[in-house]
Structure 1
Amino acid sequence: MKGKVTTHVLDLGKGGPAVGMKVALYAEDSLVALASGVTNEDGRLDEPLLSVEAMQPGIYQLIFYAGDYLRYQAEHNQVTQTLSLWDQIPIRFTITDEQGNYHIPLLLSPGGYSTYRGS
């Protein structure tokens, strides 16, 4: 399938997928999410956030709800580290080709995060 926005989240503190993290996609400066979802057992969303029918050039923002995820992990004794200072992690990116694939992963740890354009 051509033209889509996807993501996945890896929890570097646990050494595996971040299961159960909410992710939302917004168009530039919009207060209404275009799409949202919760990561599955593989740290991915079950469906693309945007597919070819909805792809338009412009600036978009992915919001990763890392604070909710990390608090849940700590409350359920799934981690022993202290909580992170990250609450919401916004990643702004530009779609220039509505036929292109935009895979925006997040690598998360309590002390930092990183992203890159995946394939």
Structure 2
Amino acid sequence: MSGRSHITSHVLDAATGQPAAGVPVTLAHLAGDEWHVLAEAVTDADGRVSQFGPEIVPVGRYRVTFDTHAYFASLGQAAFYPEVQVVFELADGEAHYHVPLLLSPFAYSTYRGS
């Protein structure tokens, strides 16, 4: 991908205070009543997905799914939430949308970052 991705993410492990490396992440777009996968990635050593999603994105509803089971299993740790789905409305196809996730084995939170 040559340009900056309009949709990015960052996962931090709140229990360890470290970036969550190796989290599988999927981006999907809702078209009609069906979700269509646009991209799949894995968080890097800094817990980031910086090139995630197409360069041009239409306005609409999107879903980022974090495979938290795979992440915690790689650490040999049980977790309550096997996946986290964040659904959001993209209102401006030219804007940058950053979807961070703060993660622990028994809780998570998210917000719109920049």
The alignment's TM-score, normalised by the length of structure 2, stands at 0.88
The answer for the alignment partner of 1:9 in structure 2 is 11
Structure with the higher strand share, 1 or 2: 2
- Is the 8 Å Cα contact of residues 11 and 107 (structure 1) preserved in structure 2? yes
1:86 maps to a residue whose letter is Y
Give the share of equivalent positions with the same residue, in percent.
36
The answer for the alignment partner of 1:78 in structure 2 is none
Name the CA shift for 1:3/1:84 in 2 (closer, same or farther; >3 Å).
Answer: closer
* Cα shift at 1:2: 6.7
Residues of 2 paired with 1:68 and 1:109: CA distance?
13
The one of 45, 70, 85 equivalent to 2:80 is 85
The alignment's TM-score, normalised by the length of structure 1, stands at 0.85
The answer for the alignment partner of 1:112 in structure 2 is 107
Query: Which segments of 5 or more consecutive residues in structure 1 lack a partner in the other structure?
Result: 75-81
* Residues paired across the two proteins, number: 110
The one of 58, 61, 86 equivalent to 1:59 is 61
The answer for the alignment partner of 1:95 in structure 2 is 90
Deviations 1:17-59 (A, max 9, x none): 00000000011254541001000010002413232x2x10100
Query: Which segments of 5 or more consecutive residues in structure 2 lack a partner in the other structure?
Result: none
- Is the 8 Å Cα contact of residues 2 and 100 (structure 1) preserved in structure 2? no
